[in-house]
Structure 1
Amino acid sequence: MTDQNERTGTNPEDIRAVPVRHYGRWVAGVIILFVAFIAIRSIATNPNMQWDVVGNYLFNDRILNGLVSTLKLTAISMVIGVVGGILLAVMRMSPNPLTSGAAGIYIWLFRGTPLITQLVFWNYLALFYPRVGLGIPFGPEFIGANTNSLITPFAAALLGLGLNEAAYMAEIVRGGLLSVDAGQLEAASALGMSRGRTLWRIILPQAMRVIIPPTGNETIAMLKTTSLVVVIGYSELMLSAQQIYAQNYKIAPLLIVAALWYLLMTSVLTLIQMQIEKYFARGTSRATPEKGWASRMFGFGGGVAR
């Protein structure tokens, strides 16, 4: 190599690396920025959007009450879904065929029927069971109540959303647990670790890296799915907007108000999901790259994982 440098009269220090020019990226970027500018300008200057009406109703009491109801439904339904999903996943992986079969039938039933049908079913449960109670089978009843007074629209919404979500979370949790190498369970057993400690200290931290991303997606989807409870008359964000524009006929601006609140809530949930993913990805090659929050959210920009 030294002889070759002497013959050519060059030194290794004289060689300068030239970065590759990606002209296609620059052209695509300029086109995207131009289209985005045209779209934003069109939306901002369109008089049919009625931005003054949007501003007037953005923090309206009825809209904010609907927003609180949406957040409440989302949070409680996801708790029911996650807890139920963990239980169903454990049952599905059980060597007992009855336990595994029962979980499989539950998942098949709730994933195989439309959510809107389930919401209506729970809301009109009194058509099938006018009274529900707790007691000895074929014996005396200890506690009982009228189904219509027990299953309110809020309770029906929670049952429909939460139990349906549990079926999907069961498969997410099961997939996360199966992603961990079975050899680690055997190694932990050889070291004398109990099954509970092994699950808590070894299996779950690794499974969470697989479970968290789809769970975050399910939470964001649940936030928007709560709008379906309008069919059973429960008031949430979308129904609040509909009730207002049914009175003043300001349909477009009220829909924009609802859309802006949904976008804000999904953006916050996305940022929370990113932080949780980053926490569970510590110490792995799949750790979240160092990017700005905007590039992480919208997917542009580069970065090198530390």
Structure 2
Amino acid sequence: MTDSRPQAKPLATGSSPSLEASASSGPIRAVKLKHPWRNVIAVVIIIFAVLFVLDASQRTAYDWPSVGKYIFDRRVSEAALNTLQLTVYSMIIAVTLGIILAVMRLSPNPVFKSVAWFYLWVFRGTPVYVQLVFWGLLAIIYQSIDIGIPFMQPWASFQTTAALNTFTLAVIGLALNEAAYMAEIVRAGLMAVDRGQEEAATALGMTWFQTMQRVVIPQSMRVIIPPTGNEVISMLKTTSLVTAVPYSFDLYTRTRDISAETFNPIPMLLVASIWYLFFTSILMVGQYFLEKRFARGVGDRKPEKSEKVSLATGVLSTVPDSTGALPLPIADKNGGDSR
């Protein structure tokens, strides 16, 4: 008696059963994964945000008419400009001094390395407010500023109070404190560049300056820019402490003085916060574009096409993977080598 059931066709040598099954079943239809709880949480957050805004708009303690009255007041706008100047001047000095300290930390000279380490130990180990108080008392500690050779008659002498006003003292105090942090940021960026890059540049005949300008610094900026942007934003808010110098024409101190006159501090705090948020938003946008510029060619490339298998023919595509390696051959439907 002959068996009438269809016999299974034997697979050719080297053929893939999974490819045969995939080819017969047709293309795979991908179904997007649903996240219902994520949507629920998002709706709840939006509802709470709307309720908070509606509640804040009806609170009499905020006194929104006073906020609108003083937001563009001449005294407030001038104080905002002074705050911006404090931030810019302090960061310029801090970045310059931070680069010098970072190079000293990386120097093989033990004297340079020790001086830089001592500077960082002092200025990172004491609060910035305490340092600003010391700068405010500089005229008591040093009554005059003498220029000349030590232990000899000075060439020129100036009274400290006449040579350094409170604005200058505030800039110096903020800059010297920030330089200690910028030094570590710059040092981390320089150390992030592979040593082989510098050796390759030297082998090409580049000088030390050319190597730093064309090879090391462009690559280290990708590491330096993000924390530096954070430090600039932090410096903008740290200017509210210059009242310790004492300098009383920054944004926070000026709005505080106005609130002492009106006996209504909450609206003036909102005015100061709005100005701080305005400057911070501009700095964040600038930081974004700087990061995007220095990250060109790194981490922003689209992933290359992966190896693809044709379900119809069982042939492996010849597109290389992300490592540049060619794919391994896979037998086609008829058992032959696809290469």
> What is the TM-score with the length of structure 2 in the denominator?
0.81
Partners of 1:287 and 1:214 in 2: CA distance: 23
Following superposition, the deviation at residue 5 of structure 1 comes to 5.9
Q: Is the 8 A contact 1:67 1:237 kept in 2?
A: yes
The corresponding residue for 2:85 is 72
Deviations 1:243-266 (A, max 9, x none): 111111121101100001101110
Matched, 1:4 2:7: no
**Aligned partner of 1:259 among 273, 278, 285:** 273
The corresponding residue for 1:237 is 251
**Aligned partner of 1:116 among 121, 129, 139:** 129
The corresponding residue for 2:230 is 217
Following superposition, the deviation at residue 2 of structure 1 comes to 6.6
Deviations 1:83-111 (A, max 9, x none): 00000000111100001100110111111
Following superposition, the deviation at residue 149 of structure 1 comes to 1.5
Partners of 2:258 and 2:140 in 1: CA distance: 32
Q: Is the 8 A contact 2:136 2:246 kept in 1?
A: no
Alignment size in residue pairs? 284
Secondary structure (helix, strand or coil) at the match of 2:32 reads: coil
Q: Is the 8 A contact 1:93 1:100 kept in 2?
A: yes
Deviations 1:136-174 (A, max 9, x none): 111121121011222211111011101111111000000
Structure 1 runs not aligned, ≥5 long: 289-306
Q: Is the 8 A contact 1:81 1:166 kept in 2?
A: yes
The corresponding residue for 1:208 is 221
Paired letter, 2:85: K
> What is the TM-score with the length of structure 1 in the denominator?
0.89
The corresponding residue for 1:160 is 173
Partners of 2:52 and 2:263 in 1: CA distance: 26
Partners of 1:214 and 1:101 in 2: CA distance: 25
Partners of 1:22 and 1:33 in 2: CA distance: 17
Matched, 1:50 2:63: yes
Paired letter, 1:16: R
Structure 2 runs not aligned, ≥5 long: 1-17, 303-339
Name the Cα RMSD after superposition: 1.6
Following superposition, the deviation at residue 3 of structure 1 comes to 4.7
Which residues of 2 match residues 15-34 of structure 1 at below 5 A?
15-34=28-47
Q: Is the 8 A contact 1:278 1:287 kept in 2?
A: no
Matched, 1:170 2:183: yes
Q: Is the 8 A contact 2:66 2:267 kept in 1?
A: yes
Partners of 1:20 and 1:164 in 2: CA distance: 50
Identity between Structure 1 and Structure 2 (%) = 46
> Quick one: structure 1 residues 21 and 4, their matched pair in 2 at CA, closer, same or farther if it must change by over 3 Å?
same
Which residues of 2 match residues 127-138 of structure 1 at below 5 A?
127-138=140-151
> Could you say which structure has the higher helix fraction?
1
Partners of 1:5 and 1:216 in 2: CA distance: 52
Partners of 2:85 and 2:124 in 1: CA distance: 23
Q: Is the 8 A contact 1:123 1:151 kept in 2?
A: no
Paired letter, 2:26: N
**Aligned partner of 1:63 among 71, 76, 80:** 76
Partners of 1:261 and 1:2 in 2: CA distance: 64
Deviations 1:116-153 (A, max 9, x none): 11111112112221111110111121121011222211
Q: Which protein shows a greater Rg?
A: 2
